[in-house]
Protein backbone atom coordinates (compact mmCIF):
# COMPACT_ATOMS: atom_id res chain seq x y z
CA UNK A 1 0.00 0.00 0.00
CA UNK A 2 1.33 3.42 -0.95
CA UNK A 3 0.99 5.78 2.06
CA UNK A 4 0.60 8.73 -0.30
CA UNK A 5 -2.64 7.23 -1.59
CA UNK A 6 -4.23 6.96 1.85
CA UNK A 7 -6.47 9.90 2.75
CA UNK A 8 -8.28 10.35 6.06
CA UNK A 9 -10.97 12.63 7.51
CA UNK A 10 -13.82 11.65 5.22
CA UNK A 11 -17.49 10.96 5.70
CA UNK A 12 -19.80 8.45 4.03
CA UNK A 13 -23.17 9.95 3.09
CA UNK A 14 -26.19 7.64 2.91
CA UNK A 15 -29.31 8.98 1.18
CA UNK A 16 -32.43 6.78 1.16
CA UNK A 17 -35.13 8.00 -1.21
CA UNK A 18 -38.05 6.56 -3.14
CA UNK A 19 -37.32 4.65 -6.31
CA UNK A 20 -36.37 6.88 -9.24
CA UNK A 21 -34.79 9.72 -7.26
CA UNK A 22 -31.31 8.25 -6.77
CA UNK A 23 -29.83 9.68 -9.96
CA UNK A 24 -31.28 13.10 -9.15
CA UNK A 25 -29.66 12.97 -5.71
CA UNK A 26 -26.28 12.22 -7.30
CA UNK A 27 -26.74 15.07 -9.80
CA UNK A 28 -27.51 17.60 -7.06
CA UNK A 29 -24.67 16.34 -4.85
CA UNK A 30 -22.16 16.85 -7.65
CA UNK A 31 -23.14 20.53 -7.74
CA UNK A 32 -21.77 20.77 -4.19
CA UNK A 33 -18.43 19.13 -4.98
CA UNK A 34 -19.17 15.43 -4.48
CA UNK A 35 -17.36 13.55 -7.25
CA UNK A 36 -19.76 10.61 -7.53
CA UNK A 37 -21.36 7.77 -5.65
CA UNK A 38 -22.87 4.29 -5.66
CA UNK A 39 -26.58 3.61 -6.09
CA UNK A 40 -28.28 0.48 -4.69
CA UNK A 41 -31.85 -0.73 -4.96
CA UNK A 42 -33.52 -1.45 -1.66
CA UNK A 43 -36.86 -1.89 0.06
CA UNK A 44 -38.13 0.21 2.94
CA UNK A 45 -40.63 -0.92 5.55
CA UNK A 46 -43.71 1.21 6.15
CA UNK A 47 -45.27 1.95 9.54
CA UNK A 48 -48.76 3.00 8.50
CA UNK A 49 -52.00 1.28 9.65
CA UNK A 50 -53.98 2.27 6.53
CA UNK A 51 -51.34 0.94 4.16
CA UNK A 52 -51.10 -2.29 6.15
CA UNK A 53 -54.87 -2.75 5.79
CA UNK A 54 -54.36 -2.44 2.03
CA UNK A 55 -51.56 -5.05 2.20
CA UNK A 56 -48.99 -2.43 1.19
CA UNK A 57 -46.21 -3.06 3.71
CA UNK A 58 -43.07 -2.10 1.82
CA UNK A 59 -41.92 0.24 -0.92
CA UNK A 60 -39.01 0.28 -3.35
CA UNK A 61 -36.15 2.55 -2.35
CA UNK A 62 -32.85 3.71 -3.75
CA UNK A 63 -29.84 4.02 -1.45
CA UNK A 64 -27.16 6.47 -2.60
CA UNK A 65 -23.73 6.26 -0.98
CA UNK A 66 -21.22 9.07 -1.50
CA UNK A 67 -17.84 10.00 0.02
CA UNK A 68 -16.68 13.53 0.74
CA UNK A 69 -14.81 15.56 3.32
CA UNK A 70 -16.81 17.01 6.26
CA UNK A 71 -16.89 20.53 4.80
CA UNK A 72 -18.30 19.30 1.48
CA UNK A 73 -20.65 16.95 3.33
CA UNK A 74 -22.18 19.79 5.32
CA UNK A 75 -22.72 21.85 2.18
CA UNK A 76 -24.16 18.86 0.33
CA UNK A 77 -26.62 17.92 3.08
CA UNK A 78 -27.97 21.45 3.29
CA UNK A 79 -28.42 21.60 -0.48
CA UNK A 80 -30.06 18.17 -0.72
CA UNK A 81 -32.43 19.04 2.11
CA UNK A 82 -33.40 22.23 0.32
CA UNK A 83 -34.07 20.37 -2.95
CA UNK A 84 -35.68 17.17 -1.66
CA UNK A 85 -37.24 18.46 1.58
CA UNK A 86 -36.00 15.75 3.91
CA UNK A 87 -37.28 17.89 6.77
CA UNK A 88 -40.81 16.80 5.74
CA UNK A 89 -42.19 13.33 6.58
CA UNK A 90 -41.75 10.53 4.01
CA UNK A 91 -39.39 12.53 1.79
CA UNK A 92 -36.35 10.40 2.54
CA UNK A 93 -33.63 9.87 5.12
CA UNK A 94 -30.03 11.10 5.12
CA UNK A 95 -27.28 10.16 7.53
CA UNK A 96 -23.50 10.34 7.57
CA UNK A 97 -20.72 8.29 9.15
CA UNK A 98 -17.01 8.91 9.62
CA UNK A 99 -14.41 7.04 7.56
CA UNK A 100 -10.84 6.52 8.73
CA UNK A 101 -9.27 6.10 5.30
CA UNK A 102 -10.23 6.32 1.65
CA UNK A 103 -8.08 4.50 -0.89
CA UNK A 104 -8.45 4.44 -4.66
CA UNK A 105 -9.79 7.91 -5.39
CA UNK A 106 -7.93 11.17 -5.93
CA UNK A 107 -11.01 13.35 -6.35
CA UNK A 108 -11.73 13.72 -2.62
CA UNK A 109 -9.80 16.47 -0.93
CA UNK A 110 -8.97 16.40 2.77
CA UNK A 111 -10.84 18.87 4.94
CA UNK A 112 -8.26 20.63 7.13
CA UNK A 113 -10.86 22.31 9.32
CA UNK A 114 -11.42 20.84 12.76
CA UNK A 115 -14.58 18.86 13.21
CA UNK A 116 -16.87 19.60 16.11
CA UNK A 117 -17.73 16.74 18.47
CA UNK A 118 -21.46 17.04 19.13
CA UNK A 119 -21.75 13.53 20.54
CA UNK A 120 -23.36 10.47 18.99
CA UNK A 121 -27.18 10.38 19.07
CA UNK A 122 -27.99 7.76 16.42
CA UNK A 123 -26.35 4.54 15.30
CA UNK A 124 -26.66 2.48 12.14
CA UNK A 125 -27.21 -1.22 12.75
CA UNK A 126 -26.23 -3.39 9.78
CA UNK A 127 -27.44 -7.00 9.67
CA UNK A 128 -26.41 -9.42 6.92
CA UNK A 129 -28.62 -12.54 6.63
CA UNK A 130 -29.69 -15.11 4.04
CA UNK A 131 -32.24 -13.97 1.51
CA UNK A 132 -35.76 -14.27 2.86
CA UNK A 133 -34.83 -13.53 6.46
CA UNK A 134 -34.68 -9.74 6.28
CA UNK A 135 -38.37 -9.45 7.16
CA UNK A 136 -37.71 -11.55 10.27
CA UNK A 137 -34.93 -9.12 11.21
CA UNK A 138 -37.27 -6.15 10.79
CA UNK A 139 -39.96 -7.87 12.86
CA UNK A 140 -37.54 -8.63 15.70
CA UNK A 141 -36.17 -5.08 15.62
CA UNK A 142 -39.66 -3.60 15.82
CA UNK A 143 -40.43 -5.71 18.88
CA UNK A 144 -37.39 -4.07 20.49
CA UNK A 145 -38.53 -0.55 19.61
CA UNK A 146 -37.29 0.02 16.05
CA UNK A 147 -39.45 2.09 13.67
CA UNK A 148 -38.38 0.11 10.59
CA UNK A 149 -35.44 -0.29 8.23
CA UNK A 150 -34.15 -0.60 4.69
CA UNK A 151 -33.41 -3.91 2.98
CA UNK A 152 -30.71 -4.25 0.29
CA UNK A 153 -30.02 -7.37 -1.76
CA UNK A 154 -26.46 -8.72 -1.78
CA UNK A 155 -24.39 -11.90 -2.15
CA UNK A 156 -22.19 -13.70 0.37
CA UNK A 157 -18.96 -15.63 -0.06
CA UNK A 158 -17.97 -16.57 3.50
CA UNK A 159 -16.82 -20.03 4.54
CA UNK A 160 -20.25 -20.83 6.01
CA UNK A 161 -22.30 -19.36 3.17
CA UNK A 162 -21.71 -21.82 0.33
CA UNK A 163 -23.81 -24.78 -0.75
CA UNK A 164 -23.25 -27.30 -3.54
CA UNK A 165 -25.26 -28.11 -6.63
CA UNK A 166 -23.90 -30.89 -8.87
CA UNK A 167 -20.59 -30.64 -6.96
CA UNK A 168 -20.33 -26.89 -7.71
CA UNK A 169 -20.10 -24.26 -4.99
CA UNK A 170 -23.04 -21.86 -5.01
CA UNK A 171 -22.89 -18.43 -3.35
CA UNK A 172 -26.37 -17.82 -1.92
CA UNK A 173 -28.01 -14.41 -2.14
CA UNK A 174 -27.97 -12.26 0.98
CA UNK A 175 -30.02 -9.41 2.32
CA UNK A 176 -28.56 -6.44 4.19
CA UNK A 177 -30.81 -4.68 6.65
CA UNK A 178 -30.02 -1.10 7.68
CA UNK A 179 -31.70 0.10 10.87
CA UNK A 180 -31.19 3.55 12.36
CA UNK A 181 -31.67 3.64 16.10
CA UNK A 182 -31.11 5.95 19.01
CA UNK A 183 -27.95 5.04 20.87
CA UNK A 184 -29.84 4.06 24.02
CA UNK A 185 -32.01 1.51 22.15
CA UNK A 186 -29.29 -0.05 19.97
CA UNK A 187 -28.34 -2.78 22.45
CA UNK A 188 -31.97 -3.85 22.93
CA UNK A 189 -32.51 -4.12 19.16
CA UNK A 190 -29.29 -6.05 18.61
CA UNK A 191 -30.03 -8.52 21.42
CA UNK A 192 -33.53 -9.23 20.10
CA UNK A 193 -32.25 -9.85 16.56
CA UNK A 194 -29.34 -11.91 17.86
CA UNK A 195 -31.65 -14.15 19.90
CA UNK A 196 -34.50 -14.46 17.38
CA UNK A 197 -32.30 -15.09 14.32
CA UNK A 198 -29.73 -17.17 16.25
CA UNK A 199 -26.94 -15.01 14.86
CA UNK A 200 -24.45 -16.71 17.17
CA UNK A 201 -24.65 -19.92 15.13
CA UNK A 202 -22.22 -20.21 12.16
CA UNK A 203 -23.62 -18.97 8.87
CA UNK A 204 -26.75 -17.38 10.35
CA UNK A 205 -25.65 -13.79 9.84
CA UNK A 206 -23.51 -10.87 10.93
CA UNK A 207 -24.34 -7.73 12.89
CA UNK A 208 -22.22 -4.60 13.13
CA UNK A 209 -22.90 -1.07 14.33
CA UNK A 210 -21.66 2.29 13.07
CA UNK A 211 -21.93 5.68 14.73
CA UNK A 212 -23.95 8.30 12.83
CA UNK A 213 -22.74 11.90 12.65
CA UNK A 214 -25.67 13.81 11.14
CA UNK A 215 -29.24 12.93 10.19
CA UNK A 216 -32.10 14.38 8.18
CA UNK A 217 -35.59 12.95 7.81
CA UNK A 218 -35.85 10.93 11.05
CA UNK A 219 -39.13 11.39 12.93
CA UNK A 220 -40.08 9.89 16.27
Q: Indicate the length of the chain as a whole number.
A: 220
Angle in degrees, CA 215, 219, 19, rounded to 5: 75
Please return the burial class of 169, using the count of CB atoms within 10 Å of its CB with bins 0-12, 13-18 and 19+. exposed
Give the phi and the psi of residue 180 in degrees, each rounded to 5. -90, 130
**Cα 194 to Cα 171: distance, rounded to the nearest angstrom:** 23
Please return the burial class of 48, using the count of CB atoms within 10 Å of its CB with bins 0-12, 13-18 and 19+. exposed
Number of other CB atoms surrounding residue 57 within 10 Å = 14
Query: For every one of its 220 residues, what pLDDT tens digit does the chain have, with 9 covering 90 and above?
Result: 444 444 447 899 999 999 999 999 999 999 999 988 988 888 887 555 444 444 445 578 899 999 999 999 999 999 999 999 998 888 899 999 988 766 665 555 555 544 444 566 899 999 999 889 999 999 999 999 998 899 998 655 555 555 555 555 545 688 899 999 999 999 999 999 999 999 999 889 999 999 999 898 876 6
Q: Among candidates 151, 148, 209, which has minimal Cα distance to 175?
A: 151
Angle in degrees, CA 85, 183, 137, rounded to 5: 85
Amino acid sequence: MNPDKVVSQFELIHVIVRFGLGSKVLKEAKKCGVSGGTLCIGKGTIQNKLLKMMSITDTRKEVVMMISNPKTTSKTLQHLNKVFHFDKPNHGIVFTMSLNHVIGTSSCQRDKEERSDDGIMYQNIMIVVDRGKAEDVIESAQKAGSKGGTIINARGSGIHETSKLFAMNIEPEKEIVMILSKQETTDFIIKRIYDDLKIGEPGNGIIFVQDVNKTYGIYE
